């Protein structure tokens, strides 16, 4: 559930920094992490995990 300072997805805490949710390295795969965040906050315009950028449609960004 999102709060003003962050949100929890399974065992990962995401802090809110400069309008972006940021988490340390997590055990879940990149796309699983993205899906968990979407369930909590709604649609995303972009997502970066493990140095890989993804656009809001789920594809790899530039």
Q: What is the pLDDT of residues 7-55, one digit of tens each?
A: 998 888 988 888 888 888 888 888 888 888 888 888 888 888 878 888 7
User: For the chain, what is the total number of helices (H) and then of strands (E)?
Assistant: 1, 5
Residue 21's pLDDT is 84
Pairing, β 6-9 against β 12-17: antiparallel
Eight-class DSSP state of 50? T
Task: With a cut of 50, say whether residue 4 has pLDDT above it.
Answer: yes
Task: With a cut of 60, say whether residue 58 has pLDDT above it.
Answer: no
Q: Residue 44 in contact with residue 51, Cβ under 8 Å?
A: no
């Amino acid at each position: 559930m999102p709060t003003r300072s962050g949100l929890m997805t399974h065992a990962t805490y995401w802090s809110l920094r400069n309008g972006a949710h940021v988490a340390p390295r997590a055990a879940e795969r990149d796309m699983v992490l993205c899906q968990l965040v979407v369930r909590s906050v709604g649609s995303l315009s972009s997502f970066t995990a493990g140095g890989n950028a993804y656009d809001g449609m789920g594809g790899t960004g530039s």
